[in-house]
Amino acid sequence: MSANESSKVPIADAHSHINAVRGLSANEFAEAFRKANGWFVALVGVSPWDYGAMPPSLRDAYLKSVDIHVKTCSEMRSKGVSVACIDGFYPGDVDKLLSMGLKPSEVLNLGREVLQYELTLCRNGLLDGIGEVGRQHYKAMPLSLLVSELLMEEAIKAGSEEDCVIHLHLEDIGPDTVLLTHEVIKRLNVKPSSKIIFHHARPDMIPAASSLGYSATVFGRKEVLRAAVALKAWGFMVESDFPGVMLNGAVTPWSLAEVEVGLLRDSLATEEFLYKVNIDNIVKSYGVSPP
Ligand SMILES: [Zn+2]
């Protein structure tokens, strides 16, 4: 199969950010992505300070950043890209807010208010999911980790009740990250679902997540995707985790096609495999119509 022929596979990005205030507009993003065969993107919001000037009240700043994100998602849809609009309370924000002088209980309350707002938008169909929520991927203070964990649990519990997608940002240890988080989810009386997504999963987390009924997204770098494909695990989606602004070395949603076509060219994957990863798994997790 020629690279040209194989590049017809529609490409999905299962986790990307967008920052239309400081980075690419929805129009620029959509144009570049569609040119590279992009059909679907899960767009995840960024933190208030990523947008620059914001209202002085942290609560207002967070709610405003959610509103900016929802507006950008609908602009992107109007450009012909299928979008899942996701916003949460980033675990790294917990540390940032503590370093700004807030008490752990104050960060917890702020996070709860933001999540409540996002859940209302989910219920009304303006958001499709909650994320990123979860734990820090680096060493964090015990209480910071606890605040993050409590917010994650609330998001999983309430988000599942609203049938929202949940993007989990975790520490990436390997299968134990999935197995122990599954224990938490069981305690919440939430059933495993393809709508609960282990974002930025290490390839060896994919079989653990799939066998329990969860989804996983894998970073779209060549070496990571090759490791995922080598496991012959089909239950994942590909993500760019593009920050929304052009940074040197960042994976972009429009670079995924080239990497994935490289898998075909080197006979590491079949076209059937790419359709499964880019369409079937996306339709199952996000509930969107196929292209
Ligand atoms: Zn992200």
- Domains: count for the chain: 1
Asked if residues 239 and 217 have their Cβ atoms less than 8 Å apart, the reply is yes
| Distance (Å, whole) CA 156 – CA 158 | 6
Distance 38 CA to ligand 1 centre (A): 18
Distance 90 CA to ligand 1 centre (A): 9
Instruction: Quote the domain boundaries for residue 137.
Output: 3-286
Find the CATH number of the domain harbouring 150.
Answer: 3.20.20.140
Which pLDDT tens digits describe the chain residue by residue (291 residues)?
A: 444 444 589 999 999 999 999 999 999 999 999 999 999 999 999 999 999 988 899 999 999 999 999 999 999 999 999 999 999 999 999 999 999 999 999 999 999 999 999 999 999 999 999 999 999 999 999 999 999 999 999 999 999 999 999 999 999 789 999 999 999 999 999 999 999 999 999 999 999 999 999 999 999 999 999 999 999 888 999 999 999 998 888 899 999 999 999 999 999 999 999 999 999 999 999 999 999
Distance 280 CA to ligand 1 centre (A): 22
| Distance (Å, whole) CA 70 – CA 120 | 13
- Take residue 34 and report the two structure tokens written for it: 């569609």
In a domain, 291, yes or no: no
Residues around ligand 1, an ion, CB closer than 5 A:
241
Distance 244 CA to ligand 1 centre (A): 10
In a domain, 146, yes or no: yes
In a domain, 22, yes or no: yes
In a domain, 266, yes or no: yes
In a domain, 188, yes or no: yes
Distance 190 CA to ligand 1 centre (A): 24
- Least Cα distance to 38 among 270, 265, 253 occurs for 253
Distance 45 CA to ligand 1 centre (A): 8
Asked if residues 44 and 86 have their Cβ atoms less than 8 Å apart, the reply is yes
Q: Which residues of 70-84 are buried (b: 16+ CB within 10 A; e: fewer)?
A: bebbebbeebebbbb
In a domain, 24, yes or no: yes
Vertex 47 angle, CA 107 and 203, to 5°: 100
| Distance (Å, whole) CA 59 – CA 107 | 10
- Least Cα distance to 175 among 206, 148, 153 occurs for 206
Tell me, rounded to whole angstroms, the distance of Cα 99 from its chain centroid: 25
In a domain, 123, yes or no: yes
In a domain, 65, yes or no: yes
Please identify which residue in the block is written with the tokens 């076209």.
271
